[in-house]
Chain A
Amino acid sequence: MKGALLSWQKVWTLSQRWYGDRMSPAFRGRTLNDARAIFASLDLTDDFWMGD
């Protein structure tokens, strides 16, 4: 199967890091580097997550 497979537990942790600040008045979006830092914090470092 093409793509990436994650456990629900991992997706929950990813969700918390990705969406945890979404309602903050200070939220100003996320840069590519911000996104990659979140992925890297969960060891999502292959081309699927980090590729240009």
Chain B
Amino acid sequence: MLDQMDWDIRLFVYRLFASRGFPPNVEEITRHFHMAVPGTKRALHRLHKSHALFLRPGSDDILMANPLSAVATDYQVSIGKRRLYANCAWDALGIPAMLHADARIAARHPLDRDLVHFSIEDSRLSSESEGIVHFAKPFRNWYDNLIDT
């Protein structure tokens, strides 16, 4: 069960991640909340277990705060001068949806590796080509292994 501090940490992570393109680390969170490092780590693992964010396996480092990815992916989202990475095609649209912002998206097609470009302007999506998004796993299996999903 998450408490108010856990949710405050989650929101801090999201705000910093979205503003600069990469998440805060344990030391930054510890300093911001005037906590002790072990308490910060426990909070991050509670948030991971609750699927509020996702840690790199075997570490305390944040890998994903959906729709944001801490690592470069095939789904790049530009908002103003910020460059953000999404975890998948859906998350590439999720970033401007979450930030209520105009955006330019460059997504690499998983099969032919061509770049496909999209833009969000005044909440309207436009794209240079028609296309579809494939959801491989049913919803009930998404969190079995979110990295794989």
- Residues of A at the B interface (CB closer than 8 Å) are 1-9, 11-12, 14-16, 18-20, 22-23, 25, 27-29, 35, 39, 47-52
Contact = CB atoms under 8 A, between A and B. Distances in A.
Contacts, number: 89
A23 B98 contact: yes
Contacts of A39: 139
A18 B14 CA distance: 16
The majority secondary structure among interface residues of chain B is: mixed
Closest 10 CB pairs of A and B: A15-B93, A15-B97, A19-B98, A19-B94, A12-B125, A19-B97, A4-B135, A3-B136, A16-B97, A22-B98
A11 B133 contact: yes
B57 interface: no
B138 A49 contact: yes
A51 B133 contact: no
A12 B138 contact: no
A15 B94 contact: yes
A14 B134 contact: no
Nearest to A4: B135
Given A9-B125, A23-B18, A35 B139 contact: yes
B101 to A, nearest CB: 11
A5 to B, nearest CB: 5
26 contacts: A1-B134, A3-B135, A3-B136, A4-B135, A6-B133, A7-B130, A8-B130, A8-B132, A8-B133, A9-B125, A11-B90, A11-B133, A12-B125, A14-B90, A15-B67, A15-B93, A15-B96, A19-B66, A19-B67, A19-B97, A19-B98, A22-B66, A23-B14, A23-B98, A29-B50, A48-B139
